[in-house]
Chains A and B, each alone.
Chain A
Amino acid sequence: MKSEIREILETADALRRQLPEDFRDRLVESIYTEAESITQKVVHVEGDPLSWEERIDRIVTHPLWGLPLMVLGLAVIFWITIVGANYPSELLATILFAIEDWGSKLFAALHVPATLSNFLWHGVYRGLAWVVSVMLPPMAIFFPLFTLLEDLGYLPRVAFNMDWLFKKVGAHGKQALTMAMGFGCNAAGVVATRIIESPRERLIAILTNNFVPCNGRWPLLIMLGSLFFASVVPPQYRSLAATGAVLGAVIVGVAFTFLVSWFLSRTMLRGEPSAFTLELPPYRRPSVLRVLYTSFIERTVKILWRAVYMAAPSGGLIWILANVHVGSHSLVQILSSWLDPLGHLIGLDGMILLAYIVAIPANEIVIPTIIMGYTGASTMVELESLEALRHLLVDQQDWTLLTAVSLMLFSVLHNPCSTTILTIWKETGSKKWAAVGTFLPLAVAFATTFLVATIWRLLGGLL
């Protein structure tokens, strides 16, 4: 090092030691003193600048009205998403699967070898079409709505109201929002944790986001709810029971979010830096068109794109598993029988576990893969009616209430999809946290379902 340079550094170090200990405080103070004097000279305020906003804020954070307002807001968003997504989802499925037929016919006419054509159209393409038709419509509805609330300035108030609960488990109130985002897509939820400035609380939010079921997992929860829980109550209460079951699963997920947050903040993340402040920005009129456009491009299309290039190969993999035979059994049958003992231990079976393994890229394809495995079909399929599904699962495959409970728990708690894992890695910049974010939920899922299955069976034996 040159002597001039050493002199600079050494002088700086020596001077720093001579400075008063609070010189940084004083620096900010003198900047603000300056800012104050400038402001006094150039700003004139007429009337109370925040009067109407204060009035809104008082309603929004009212002990009585605050909660109903918040629940109502979120409920409306979910309702619009679920109801609104149904029709376009079906339409999209019809179109996309028609293209599959058309494409495979075209290939046949062109004399493309049948195996290759089947692999491409009934494997790769079908996986892709499935994910797109299930995923796209709800996301295209959910994200713009959510973004609208965000732009309006309402969401920071939600974080403000919910903070007391998150504080108890060592987390940040803004986690409420990243969780809400997680209902749409966990990867988006993980990205959204950027709004949490405090490093420790942000890591907690990232690592636990997976415990709120994203829309790729809703179909399974809804199916189980209507298939198992609805059937044990009188017909007039059926829809209520199904809804209750799904809600129950969500509540379990949220409970685990808090539990794991609490655990993390006391063990693994004890030594991480933390700093809480929350700005409540003024309410602003959002520009609706821009919100629609940008939330669609930024969130929906980006996530969809990532999901697509993950889903396509797994569609291909599923096709190979179903169509490559060793002896008289397909790979699906062989692998699922290997996994059977492990599956049984946690109240499931080998086929379900196998479906979850191949569905790591996208949970949307769990149900079609399971049905494919059970029916011995060569591609992913869906059954037309609930009755047919009940016949297959309950009568032929002996699914019980325990299977349904375990599967719901497993679906809510298990490892995130590969897109989310990648996102965790990118956001934290650390393989370690990506690994924790993957294996911690997996361990939690196995432990919980194992406990439930064991206790269930013990009680069943006693009764």
Chain B
Amino acid sequence: MWLWALIFIITGIFLAWIVGKAHEYLRTRNRESMEDVLKFLIISDPKMEGVPQETVAGFLGLSRRAATTLINRLYRDGLIRFQSNRILLTAEGRKRAIRILRAHRLLEYYLVYATGLPLRDIHRYAEKQEHRITPEALRDLAARIGYPLRDPHGDPIPDEDGNLPIVASGKPLTDVSAPSWVRVVHIEDEPAHIFAQIISEGIEPYSSFLVLENLPKGIHIQIDGRDIWLAPIVANNITVQVLSDAPSRMEEQKTLADVEIGTRVRVIRITPRIQGLLRRRLLDLGFTPGAKIKPVLRSAFGRGDPTAYLVRGSMIALRKEQAREILVKEEFNETSSA
């Protein structure tokens, strides 16, 4: 008799625990979906014209009924309002949405530039973590990576108060007159295959390059010492900002990885593909623009990977991946002096 009672109680507690856990899980799922809707609204509707309900349901990939429940909830919480069957964010909703957007973009930046995760993988990670990170942790993260203004796709990152930074607006690469020196501010990530093609050519947000020719059949650019032809349809997805300080000649420029042992070179700059901790460390070790560098030693077995460089009186070894991101030019005028 007592035994049965005990078993009954234990089973009851266990069941209650399970139900509690499941409820908690559903609630967070729900919160995450709600936040996803808010984020979708702010991205897809920058001019605040409203989005049709069906579009939202389609984006969520939910059944009509589930989508309606979600939308009703958002309405009840005062995060969205309706205007002739179109959905708009309320002021409160906009604030929440920007917070999530900020988390997402900061996380993407962190993942690419601090952890070296490839660009194509970050979205999934950021999508999960954006809902979980606390405001304090987010602020810490932002400080740690130096308050970036744009995410790895080139999209602006809102600040803590929800203001979007004033980022120089650009124009499509197809509209740039040649020759000019430009910097990428945004790369459209839809359609995916064109995005992938752009990335594989080594063109990433923040990178800068020289536009040599702009012809109807394609655009001839020179990036990090390489010549590339881009089809107009590809170039159209790249937004750039024209830089004024155009170098007159690009031919002299090469990467540190291509420099022969014993050849003295001068640093032009570190490409924007190195960010975060590594960029700072390279700068601190003396790889600043204008620094004189000499490759002195190749590793015994790695066929020159890593290679050691004499920089500002000390020997620092870098791997090929890093040396490739340091642009240099050869020193012609100083040949023999130390």
A contact set with B: CB distance below 8 Å = 13, 16-17, 21, 24-25, 28-29, 32-33, 35, 45, 48-50, 54, 57-58, 60-63, 66-67, 160-165, 167, 173, 197, 200, 270-282
Least CB distance from B172 to A in Å reads 21
- CB closest chain-A residue, reference B160: A13
Instruction: Evaluate whether A164 and B115 lie within 8 angstroms (CB atoms) in the complex, with A17-B159, A277-B281, A279-B314 already known.
Output: no
Instruction: Evaluate whether A163 and B299 lie within 8 angstroms (CB atoms) in the complex, with A271-B115, A273-B276, A280-B316 already known.
Output: yes
Q: How far is the CA of A28 from the CA of B296 in the complex (A)?
A: 24
Least CB distance from B127 to A in Å reads 13
Q: Which one of B44-52, B91-99, B213-221, B301-309 is at the interface?
A: B301-309
Q: How far is the CA of A322 from the CA of B299 in the complex (A)?
A: 56
Q: How far is the CA of A200 from the CA of B159 in the complex (A)?
A: 29
Counting chain B CB atoms within 10 Å of each CB, the highest count among A58, A164, A279 belongs to: A164
Q: Which one of B15-23, B192-200, B285-293 is at the interface?
A: B285-293
Q: How far is the CA of A21 from the CA of B243 in the complex (A)?
A: 14
CB-CB contacts of B300-338 with A at 8 A, as 1s and 0s? 111101101010111111110010000000000000001
Interface of B is mostly: loop
Q: How far is the CA of A164 from the CA of B306 in the complex (A)?
A: 7
Instruction: Evaluate whether A280 and B281 lie within 8 angstroms (CB atoms) in the complex, with A17-B166, A164-B299, A167-B305 already known.
Output: no
Chain B residues with CB under 8 A of A62: 300
Q: Does B131 contact A (CB under 8 A)?
A: no
Least CB distance from A100 to B in Å reads 51
Give 25 A-B contacts (CB < 8 Å), ordered by A residue: A16-B147, A17-B165, A21-B149, A24-B146, A25-B279, A29-B290, A32-B291, A50-B296, A58-B297, A61-B300, A63-B300, A66-B300, A163-B302, A163-B317, A200-B115, A273-B276, A274-B115, A275-B277, A276-B306, A276-B322, A277-B278, A278-B317, A279-B314, A279-B315, A281-B315
- CB closest chain-B residue, reference A47: B338
Chain B residues with CB under 8 A of A17: 149, 159, 165-166
Instruction: Evaluate whether A276 and B165 lie within 8 angstroms (CB atoms) in the complex, with A164-B305, A270-B115 already known.
Output: no
Least CB distance from B266 to A in Å reads 12
In the complex, are the beta carbons of B281 and A61 less than 8 A apart? no
Q: How far is the CA of A423 from the CA of B319 in the complex (A)?
A: 30
CB-CB contacts of B154-166 with A at 8 A, as 1s and 0s? 0000011000011
In the complex, are the beta carbons of B283 and A45 less than 8 A apart? no
- CB closest chain-B residue, reference A269: B115
Extra contacts, 14 of them, besides A29-B288, A67-B301, A275-B278 (Cβ < 8 A), are: A25-B279, A32-B286, A49-B313, A67-B300, A160-B308, A163-B302, A164-B299, A164-B303, A167-B319, A197-B281, A271-B117, A274-B278, A275-B277, A281-B315
Q: How far is the CA of A49 from the CA of B276 in the complex (A)?
A: 34
Least CB distance from B259 to A in Å reads 17
Q: Does B25 contact A (CB under 8 A)?
A: no
Q: Does B82 contact A (CB under 8 A)?
A: no
- CB closest chain-A residue, reference B280: A24
Instruction: Evaluate whether A277 and B289 lie within 8 angstroms (CB atoms) in the complex, with A62-B300, A63-B301, A173-B306 already known.
Output: no
Q: How far is the CA of A13 from the CA of B286 in the complex (A)?
A: 28
- CB closest chain-A residue, reference B306: A163
Q: How far is the CA of A50 from the CA of B315 in the complex (A)?
A: 10
